[in-house]
A = this chain, B = another copy of it.
Amino acid sequence: MTGSAALFTDRYELTMVDAALLDGTGHRESLFEAFGRRLPNGRRYGIVAGTGRLLELIERFRFEDAELEYLREHRVVRDATLDWLADYRFRGEIWGYREGEAYFPGSPLLTIQASFAEAVMLETVVLSVLNYDSSVASAAARMVSVALGRPIAEMGSRRTNEGSAIAAARAAYIAGFDATSNLEAGRTWGIPTMGTAAHAFTLLHDSEEAAFRAQVEAMGTGTTLLVDTYDIATGVETAVRVAGTELGAVRIDSGDLPTVVADVRAQLDDLGAVNTRITVTSDLDEYQIAALSGAPADAYGVGTSVVTGSGFPAAGMVYKLVARRGDDGEWVDVAKSSPKKISIGGRKNAARRLDSTRTAREEIVFVGDGPEGEAEFEPGDELRPLMVHLMHAGRADAAWTGHAGVEAARAHRAEVMQELPIEAFRLGRGEPVIPTTYR
């Protein structure tokens, strides 16, 4: 696999390019929009994620010799189109919601303006990134809100594809997780990594005590010892005996958690290890975390549920042509009109209406205005503009990419959470916490 994302593409995108270049319509300036028709069933809000790494993928979207040879050999497109693809790089404009922003049904998350041929072939990469990353971030944000300030680590790499694991770690961090187990996510995105030992390490040794001694020898007494390979109470006693009362933490990965956590806390306190923390990692999801709010757990590790979007592994976003120029140069709004999959055509802008307490009350989508109408929102009125200029003439704004983009998105999400109505944080099923209205 090369560094290019050019074949992370559905074949029909290139056959459309081929046919549209042949009849000339491929050069028509076009506006594509990515949005979700609805939130995952029963969720109150979603969190946009993936935008920053998507911009990087679009900048690197090139057809090198290997890709062109594959397309030639399999006669995917005509030779003239291969020449066009060889010169391809995205040169258009992209506006959209900031990464880390809350979103609702119909929010115009990304608007891409370029020739039809240039923009249509980004469909798969745009949707793959936004669908997966936003799914993870939306689930992760719910977990963060019920963790009530206790730190959460993402440790689900093993429960999802090895590539998506890195994206999941990034999305969860943006949504407020504090660390990841995934080293590649640490290297690529600058996310703090964590982790000390698994049951295998204890089983490797001749006794639990020998394992704990080896771990403390290598990692110091501040380490986290996994105490549930055999009997938990014995494990805790051994841990404190080996590491002393300054032991950093114990980890519990099984059992009836609220009870076990309370017992372990009492035992640690009895042993004098009053500063030793308790980390819990056992098939946690947002409901389990909420159930532990009264228990003396100090930190959580979450795996499967966060990397699979807690029941909604794809956020359900679509990428639609909403406007294009005709031969006369005029923009024409377009939309599919078949039943059940109605879209709203036209250029869009969006703002969130805040009340006098700066609480969000409405997601307003302005149809026909277009993303360049940003200037109409004056500071001080109660409309917070939602769309920013992400990419200009094919170049991403550095504020949104790389490590800086991740940190900016994480900070932005924290701010946005402050303006959501309190009902947004209920775990039970419900409607989106604010309505989307079109103007």
Measured CB to CB, the residues of A under 8 A from B are 1, 3, 5, 7-16, 18-20, 22-23, 25, 28, 30, 32, 57, 66-67, 70-71, 74, 76, 78, 116, 120, 123-125, 127-129, 131-133, 155, 157-167, 181-184, 186-188, 193-201, 203-206, 210, 213-215, 217-219, 228-232, 253-255, 304, 307-308, 313-314, 316, 319-321, 324, 326-327, 334-341
Contacts and interface: CB of A to CB of B under 8 A. Distances in A.
A184 B8 contact: yes
Contacts of A219: 15, 18-19
The 9 A-B pairs of least Cβ separation, nearest first, read: A163-B163, A12-B195, A161-B164, A19-B218, A127-B158, A11-B195, A200-B321, A7-B184, A203-B334
A125 B162 contact: yes
Contact of A157 (B120, B128, B253, B341): B128
Nearest to A184: B7
27 contacts: A7-B183, A8-B157, A8-B162, A8-B166, A10-B181, A11-B195, A12-B198, A13-B198, A15-B196, A16-B197, A16-B201, A18-B218, A18-B219, A19-B214, A19-B219, A23-B214, A70-B186, A123-B200, A124-B158, A125-B162, A129-B162, A133-B161, A159-B314, A160-B314, A161-B163, A199-B321, A304-B314
Contact of A164 (B120, B164, B341): B164
A161 B253 CA distance: 28
A253 B326 CA distance: 26
Given A11-B195, A132-B161, A162-B129, A218 B22 contact: yes
A405 to B, nearest CB: 17
Nearest to A226: B12
A70 B335 contact: no
A339 B254 CA distance: 7
Contacts of A22: 214, 217-218
Nearest to A326: B206
Given A10-B155, A67-B187, A313-B308, A340 B254 contact: yes
Contacts of A253: 338, 341
Contacts of A336: 199, 203, 228-230
A221 to B, nearest CB: 14
Given A23-B217, A71-B183, 9 more contacts: A1-B3, A10-B155, A10-B182, A16-B196, A30-B204, A74-B193, A127-B158, A128-B161, A128-B165
A159 B198 contact: no
Given A23-B214, A116-B204, A314-B160, A230 B338 contact: yes
Contact of A25 (B16, B74, B183, B204): B204
Nearest to A16: B201
A198 B123 contact: yes
Contacts of A25: 204-205, 214
Nearest to A205: B25
A166 B7 CA distance: 10
A49 to B, nearest CB: 12
Contacts of A167: 161, 163
Nearest to A202: B336
Contact of A11 (B132, B133, B181): B181
B1 A184 contact: yes
A12 B197 contact: yes
A368 to B, nearest CB: 17
A53 B177 CA distance: 31
A196 B18 CA distance: 10
Contact of A320 (B132, B194, B200): B200
A260 to B, nearest CB: 10
A353 B9 CA distance: 44
Contacts of A14: 183
Contacts of A214: 19-20, 22-23, 25
A296 B210 CA distance: 67
A225 to B, nearest CB: 11
